[in-house]
Copies of this chain bind each other. A is one copy, B any other.
């Protein structure tokens, strides 16, 4: 039997078991260097055709937070303003423009350019994967994350992506948790409820 080489328990805990969605943050700045380090990890996560359709707006300044505020659900305003950075995870509807360089195996650009439904589904699926890589890469670097879907996408698109090429997928608050902002953990579905081995 081949022995699998698992990460240390402490790493598994930091990434999955102990990590929590955070709804309150300490006042701790997150530097440009940390945001670059975050991208330099998450960028290695796999995407279909290496298409990397996700785009990221790191909303950090007070001015940019004010631009975001009107689009937020009322229950998400306080935590989003408190977060050191709020990431707008978006998708590039014309991600396929980059395929000739990013996916040199063959020319996949026409396949997507000619099929709007396939492009949209591919952008949505793979920018979601990349959003998950961002959440786990943030935890790997010692940041806490608070992903959220409670916002008005039209307002965010109008305010941040007026030319219509990018579209918001979801938001991720980043920073260092205020322990008071962690809610009781929800349960999880059991293996037998969600999985089968055939």
Contacts and interface: CB of A to CB of B under 8 A. Distances in A.
Interface of A: 1-2, 4-8, 11-12, 14-17, 19, 21, 26, 28-29, 32, 34-36, 39-46, 48, 50, 52, 54-61, 63-64, 67, 92, 98, 101-105, 122, 124-126, 128-133, 135-137, 140-143, 145, 147-149, 169-170, 176, 183, 186-189, 191, 193-198
Nearest to A196: B57
17 contacts: A4-B34, A7-B7, A7-B15, A7-B141, A12-B41, A16-B133, A16-B137, A19-B44, A44-B188, A50-B186, A52-B194, A56-B195, A58-B195, A63-B198, A105-B183, A128-B128, A131-B132
A185 to B, nearest CB: 9
Contacts of A148: 48
B98 A125 contact: no
Contacts of A130: 132
Contacts of A122: 149
Contact of A57 (B46, B183, B195): B195
- For the residues of A in contact with B, the DSSP-based class is mixed
B6 A8 contact: no
Contact of A102 (B5, B34, B43, B187): B187
